[in-house]
Amino acid sequence: MPAKPVVKRLPARRGLFAGFKGNVDAITIGLKYLVDPKRFTLIYPNEYIKLDPGYRGFIVLDPKKCIHCSSCARICPAAAMRMIKRMEEDPKTGKPKMKLWPVINYQRCIFCGYCVDVCPTEALYTVPYHDIVYENMAEMDWSLETFVKPPEHPTAKEGIPVKYIVDEEKGLVKVRAEEVEEK
């Protein structure tokens, strides 16, 4: 069943009082929302959105799973992920050995999630938050030590977690995160 084009006509402006009725309708709707407004502003940082687990937030490396394959750096469209060389002791032979490790530069990352999806061992994972502020650009270029642990999420310490849920009557409503999780 493919689409079909349908020629429509603009609603005619009927009669003497059409303008009057239009004005009354518009004002009535306006008044309705003046009395009963629909607000869902996030009072940030007193509140913060508790995002779904599937959200593509900051990316973190699990060093135990990484097999140093460089796939993540190769697929990165923004050249945010790159491989660095590290001399490490080989657990089997005890001799120093060169290893490649990925590091991420958040000045460049566009959060496309390609790296997470391409990693053959799921060594990369996303955390469901995105609101992290840096004082300078250099801090955004993460070192390997920073990359292996989830970044601190300061708003979660002070703010109240909320969620936005789709509602039939109001579009979006803001509710406390606990209320949604209970259901």
Query: Applying CB under 8 A, which residues contact another protein?
Result: 1-11, 13, 18-19, 22-23, 25-26, 28-30, 38, 40, 52-56, 69, 71, 74-75, 77-78, 110-114, 117-118, 120-122, 126, 164-172
Chosen from ligand SF4, another protein, none, partner binding at 66 (C-beta under 5 to 8 Å by type): ligand SF4
Chosen from ligand SF4, another protein, none, partner binding at 22 (C-beta under 5 to 8 Å by type): another protein
Q: Closest approach of Cβ 139 to ligand SF4, in Å? A: 17
Chosen from another protein, ligand SF4, none, partner binding at 125 (C-beta under 5 to 8 Å by type): none
DSSP 177: H
Question: Per rule CB under 6 A, is residue 154 in the interface with ligand SF4?
Answer: no
Question: Is residue 87 within 8 Å of 162, Cβ to Cβ?
Answer: no
Question: Is residue 114 within 8 Å of 147, Cβ to Cβ?
Answer: no
Chosen from another protein, ligand SF4, none, partner binding at 1 (C-beta under 5 to 8 Å by type): another protein
- Report the alpha-carbon distance of residue 126 to residue 58 in Å, rounded: 5
Question: Is residue 162 within 8 Å of 174, Cβ to Cβ?
Answer: yes
Look at residues 147, 63, 56, 151 and name the one whose alpha carbon lies nearest to residue 105: 147
Here the tokens at position 150 are 């989830």
